[in-house]
A and B are shown apart, each in its own frame.
Chain A
């Protein structure tokens, strides 16, 4: 069974540019989560999709972040325009029920 996959694995962009991260969940998993870990701190929740609907987006830092999950399959997280404090590792996770979430390998975003 394929796991959660994320693209790209690394991204270095300049402040003010746009970056789009992609997550392909495990097939059949309705729940998809985005998380971010900044500077060795805790893994912080960004948002939660159930199929194509946003169940909870209370963790999204501001309106520069936009997440989509068209068709309830893969998801994208766009940051526009990127700021220095957006640097970190962005994790995607998926689960079938609302337990046992499986993580992707993360996208390391560096804004310079």
Chain B
């Protein structure tokens, strides 16, 4: 089955700096890669996703890159703000179930 690894588990950045979270996957059949943000006590929210026919996708301060050959994808947050502080989960899907990473706790220091 699929195995998704996510690094780092915790990340602290100064406000205004960039944050990068990396994930790897093992199943070449995975073709959809969403990222979820979970604020304390709230539900995981889909913030950006990418399909395997695209190498990069950007939405304002958030971008995701995908390297199918290397089987890794990354989340990039630029100009971080305190409200970006949350746990971020990556996931990989082959159209059936979603396989999640272990999460990255991001803290943006004002």
Contact = CB atoms under 8 A, between A and B. Distances in A.
B71 to A, nearest CB: 17
A50 to B, nearest CB: 10
A48 B49 contact: no
A45 B99 contact: yes
A48 B94 CA distance: 13
Contacts of B34: 99-101
Contacts of B99: 45
Q: Which 8 A-B pairs have the closest CB atoms?
A: A43-B100, A105-B43, A42-B102, A103-B44, A98-B95, A45-B97, A103-B43, A42-B100
B98 A101 contact: yes
Interface residues of B, number: 24
Contacts of B44: 43, 91, 103
Contact of B96 (A41, A56, A93, A100): A56
Nearest to A48: B97
B43 A43 contact: no
Contact of B32 (A44, A56, A99): A99
Interface in B38-95: 42-46, 49, 51, 89, 91, 93, 95
9 contacts: A35-B100, A41-B102, A42-B6, A43-B89, A45-B97, A56-B96, A98-B96, A99-B34, A99-B51
Interface string A16-36: 000000000000000001010
B36 interface: yes
Interface in A59-112: 59, 91, 93, 98-106
Contact of B93 (A41, A99, A103, A106): A99
A44 B1 CA distance: 13
B49 A100 contact: yes
Nearest to A40: B103
B101 to A, nearest CB: 6
B93 A98 contact: yes
Interface string B12-47: 000000000000000000001010100000111110
